[in-house]
Structure 1
Amino acid sequence: MSQQLITLSDRISYLTPVGPTDRPILMSVTGERHTLMIDGGNSKAHADLFLEKLKTEGKTLPTMAMVTHWHWDHIFGLAALSIPTIASYDTKKAMEELVNFKWDDQSIDERVATGVEIQFCADAIREEFKENRDIQVVMPSILFEDELTIDLGGVTCLLKQVGSDHAKDSTVVYVKEEKLLFLGDVTAPLMYAPIWHYTAEETLKLLDHIDQFDAETYVISHYKLISKAEYVQESTLLRKAASLVNKQNGDLDQMKRDLTDFCGRPLEENEEETLMYFANGAAAKT
């Protein structure tokens, strides 16, 4: 589990993600007065590693933190922090549902069986925490509705709640001076469902929100930083898939044929997967 601290600029550093334990990217944005930590991490160990690497590299430690949405891998690390934490009202409300949960194997398995938890997350929690399940859900101390602007001192961060299929409370962070947009997990499908899926309505609404930001770099939490050109390629696929699922009433085979004609080549694996998620979303409505 080798994670690297990457220095993007004199203002921004980030810790690379990990797949098996579902550790997302953690990022720090430093201004003249404050440093904002974006997301809390999936455990105390995750958050502690980020802080230790910042310290070792001589970086400014965070004076405040925010969380992009309520999922465990973005909030369980808050227990390691002793700084104010920011979240939307909707995120706090969703986090409150987790406070009284128990995290032993039996309790997790029961929640998976009833659909409250999903197997993907259950497996990652076991991998991250092993037998030491001292998990505390720490509530945010600063709440906002819709959006919040933070002046770190020469650096401006706009926190905007945009929603998404993945999580209705999803918030993105736009670092104006860096033209960087931290997307978190907003472009991922809804996972807390019998079948993972996208819906055309939510996807198109989300993409319209994202297009309002003048960004050159985009951060996808469980992937990497991507360029404007790479984001445009991804958003074009999502928009096309959203239009096809409506046009073909969720008929996956016809959607694949249409997208193949549109691309003028055989479909790549990620394109077929995206179409499947949209078809799943159409099926879930029926």
Structure 2
Amino acid sequence: MQKLTKISDRLYYLPPVQETDRPILGAVVGEEKTLLIDAGNSSQHAKLFLQQLREIGIQADLLALTHWHWDHVFGMREIAVPSISCKETYGKIKEMQPLSWEDKDLDQRVEEGTEIPFCADAMKKEFGNDRNIQIHLPTLTFEDRMTVHLGSVTCEIEHVGGDHSSDSCVAFIPEEKALFVGDCLYANLYAEKWNYTVEKMLKLIQRLEKYDADTYFLSHHPGPLTKDAFHSFLQLLKNAALLTQKNAGDENAIHQEMSDNLQRDLNEDELEAIGYFVNGW
């Protein structure tokens, strides 16, 4: 079972589960209010998070969403507090509300290319045959950024976009030097071939580099990354993007130049990153 993990008196997270696509959920605890980051992929996921917080005396007051994808919002019905998102996220969630999540309808959307096969399979595993899914709309919306004051700690939420989802937001807690990155650095999965694009990635990296954080949370990574590990990941993505641009999407040429620059064979992560950029070229 997922176990609530304490980073500090102000910061907690619930680790992800790959099989059913449960993302990391965060809690920022102020002297006056507690803000949750993402609602989880189901009522069961959200209930587990809330229960473990209650066991240590923490009650949720607000909820912030990093983007509209199902695994981050389907738990909203269990979190009876005001919720916050960017305006684009609100619109995307509203589009999902009338959809059916039964097998035949999921399968049809997969066939049409409007649903991701991995996500459809994860939903079936997470929910079983109980598909009483009620999707709630966010209460408060913002355009570019919003600061939430919780009492001796703040959370700065910024719309950053990216290939994975154009509504992606990050949540920065300056007092803790912690950044919840959500899914913004992941590839676009709503495509025939999962991909990155050079322009969107370079713009996103520039936005993320400005944050002075020591702890970074990627929604589907097992635990937080250090500053060095996170910036190494950013550097990999930046290098792959620039080499894709320089070599006009020639995968072999990109492999060779990156390998020459590193003076070693490329590892699995580097090959995957290059593949995503070539797919989006």
**Alpha-carbon distance between aligned partners in 2 of 1:71 and 1:110, rounded to the nearest angstrom:** 18
SS in 2 for 1:195: coil
Per-residue CA distance 1:221-246 (angstroms, 9 max, x = gap) = 00021000001110110010000111
Q: 183, 206, 209: which is aligned to 1:208?
A: 206
Please state how far the C-alpha of 1:59 moved relative to its aligned partner.
Answer: 3.5
Q: Does 1:278 align with 2:273?
A: no
Which amino acid letter does the alignment assign opposite residue 26 of structure 2? Answer: M
Q: 185, 188, 196: which is aligned to 2:186?
A: 188
Q: 59, 62, 65: which is aligned to 1:61?
A: 59
SS in 2 for 1:231: helix
Matches within 5 A, 1:27-66: 27-56=26-55, 58-66=56-64
Q: Which residue of 2 aligns with 1:137?
A: 135
Count, aligned residues: 280
**Alpha-carbon distance between aligned partners in 1 of 2:256 and 2:77, rounded to the nearest angstrom:** 49
Please state how far the C-alpha of 1:54 moved relative to its aligned partner.
Answer: 1.1
Please state how far the C-alpha of 1:53 moved relative to its aligned partner.
Answer: 0.9
Please state how far the C-alpha of 1:263 moved relative to its aligned partner.
Answer: 1.1
Unaligned runs of 5+ in 1: none
Q: 98, 102, 111: which is aligned to 2:100?
A: 102
Q: Which residue of 1 aligns with 2:168?
A: 170
**Alpha-carbon distance between aligned partners in 2 of 1:181 and 1:202, rounded to the nearest angstrom:** 20
Q: Which residue of 1 aligns with 2:6?
A: 7
**Alpha-carbon distance between aligned partners in 1 of 2:69 and 2:188, rounded to the nearest angstrom:** 12
Q: Which residue of 1 aligns with 2:248?
A: 249
TM-score, length-scaled by structure 2: 0.98
**Alpha-carbon distance between aligned partners in 1 of 2:139 and 2:229, rounded to the nearest angstrom:** 36
Q: 109, 113, 116: which is aligned to 1:115?
A: 113
Q: Does 1:18 align with 2:7?
A: no
Q: 134, 146, 149: which is aligned to 2:147?
A: 149
**Alpha-carbon distance between aligned partners in 1 of 2:212 and 2:57, rounded to the nearest angstrom:** 27
**Alpha-carbon distance between aligned partners in 2 of 1:184 and 1:256, rounded to the nearest angstrom:** 29
Please state how far the C-alpha of 1:114 moved relative to its aligned partner.
Answer: 0.8
User: In percent, how many aligned pairs have the same letter?
Assistant: 43
Q: Which residue of 2 aligns with 1:85?
A: 83
Please state how far the C-alpha of 1:211 moved relative to its aligned partner.
Answer: 1.1
Q: Which residue of 1 aligns with 2:72?
A: 74
SS in 1 for 2:96: coil
**Alpha-carbon distance between aligned partners in 1 of 2:247 and 2:226, rounded to the nearest angstrom:** 32
SS in 2 for 1:97: helix
**Alpha-carbon distance between aligned partners in 2 of 1:233 and 1:264, rounded to the nearest angstrom:** 17
SS in 1 for 2:26: strand
**Alpha-carbon distance between aligned partners in 2 of 1:18 and 1:45, rounded to the nearest angstrom:** 13
**Alpha-carbon distance between aligned partners in 2 of 1:244 and 1:59, rounded to the nearest angstrom:** 50
SS in 1 for 2:236: helix
Which amino acid letter does the alignment assign opposite residue 273 of structure 1? Answer: E
In structure 2, the CA distance between the partners of 1:59 and 1:268, relative to structure 1 (3 Å rule), is: farther
Q: Which residue of 2 aligns with 1:260?
A: 259
Please state how far the C-alpha of 1:271 moved relative to its aligned partner.
Answer: 0.7
TM-score, length-scaled by structure 1: 0.97
SS in 1 for 2:48: helix
Please state how far the C-alpha of 1:253 moved relative to its aligned partner.
Answer: 1.1
**Alpha-carbon distance between aligned partners in 2 of 1:30 and 1:5, rounded to the nearest angstrom:** 14
Per-residue CA distance 1:82-120 (angstroms, 9 max, x = gap) = 100100100001111101100111000111111110101
SS in 2 for 1:52: helix
